[in-house]
Amino acid sequence: MQVFIYQPPSLPWLDIRYADAHIVIINKPSGLLSNPGIAAHTHDCALTRLQQMYGEVHLVHRLDCDTSGIMVFARNKAAESHLKKQFEGRDTEKTYIALVQGDVQTLQGEINAPLAADKNNRPLQRVDANGKAARTFYEVLAHNPQHSRLLLKPVTGRTHQLRVHMQHIGHTILGDSFYGDATCQAAAPRLCLHAQSLSFQHPTSGKKLCMSSTPDF
Just list the catalytic residues.
Answer: 64
How far is the C-alpha of 101 from the C-alpha of 104, rounded, in Å? 8
Strands (E) across 53-146 are located at: 58-59, 68-74, 93-101, 108-112, 115-117, 125-127, 135-143
Biggest CA–CA distance in the chain, Å, is 49
CB 159 within 8 A of CB 125: yes
What Cα–Cα distance (Å) separates residue 130 from each residue in 42, 60, 114, 117, 146?
Answer: 32, 27, 7, 11, 34
97 pairs with which residues across the strands?
Answer: 151, 194
Measured between alpha carbons, how far is 206 from 1 in angstroms, rounded to an integer? 44
